Amino acid sequence: MTQFFLTFNWQGLYEGLRVVFIILDAVLFVAFVLVFFKAWKLRPPIESEFEENAEIAPVGGEPEEKKFAFNTANFAAHWSGIAEKAREGTPQSLVLAVISADNLVDTALKQMGLEGEHMADRLQHFTYDDFNQIEDLWRAHKLRNELVHTPGFQLKKGEAEEILRVYESFLRTLRALK
């Protein structure tokens, strides 16, 4: 029996297995590439939920400011969900509606390209000359922060309705809502 192990052509077995595994590696690599490209066609499209259109500067002219065309259908759908939540009238639904409205306004500000880590940073780009309701928007955002960061903070229904009117008015001013 030991004679078998001593006389067996191990070098040939090694070379044969090596060739088999190289071929197997090549087949698996090709299969991976094919599956990757088939799966790539099935992936969901990578698009922004809210569209932005920018004007291109004319040839030889000064660059124009970016003009935004919000996808008003998406904003309207989000806003109708917020309004529906507010109509429930429970304290929790009013809080959720205010937070959602604040997030929707922040999304619009981001779509405009305003820089900043937080919504407050983006709001600092505006003055009273830009939007006459900017002070109301600041007050609404500060109240939203109180809701989120102060335990036990109670929001009155009238306050919530006023805040939602401010957010809606601001979105209409931006033309994110019709």
Tell the burial category of 164 from Cβ atoms under 10 Å away from its Cβ (0-12, 13-18, 19+). buried
- How far is the first Cα of the chain from the last one, in angstroms, to the nearest whole number? 90
What is the structure's pLDDT at 30?
96
d(CA 43, CA 162): 42
What is the structure's pLDDT at 19?
96
What is the structure's pLDDT at 9?
87
What is the structure's pLDDT at 135?
86
What is the structure's pLDDT at 50?
46
CB 126 within 8 A of CB 108: no
The number of angstroms, rounded, from the C-alpha of 64 to the middle of its chain's C-alpha atoms is: 27
What is the structure's pLDDT at 26?
97
Query: What is the residue whose two structure tokens read 């989000």?
Result: 78
CB-CB neighbours of 111 under 10 Å: 20
d(CA 112, CA 68): 7
DSSP per-residue letters across 16-38: HHHHHHHHHHHHHHHHHHHHHHH
pTM over 0.85: no
What is the structure's pLDDT at 23?
97
Per-residue pLDDT in tens (0 to 9) along the chain, 178 residues: 788 888 888 899 999 999 999 999 999 999 999 999 888 777 765 544 444 444 444 444 444 444 567 777 888 898 899 999 889 988 889 999 999 999 998 888 888 888 888 888 888 887 776 677 788 888 889 999 888 898 888 888 898 899 999 989 888 888 888 8
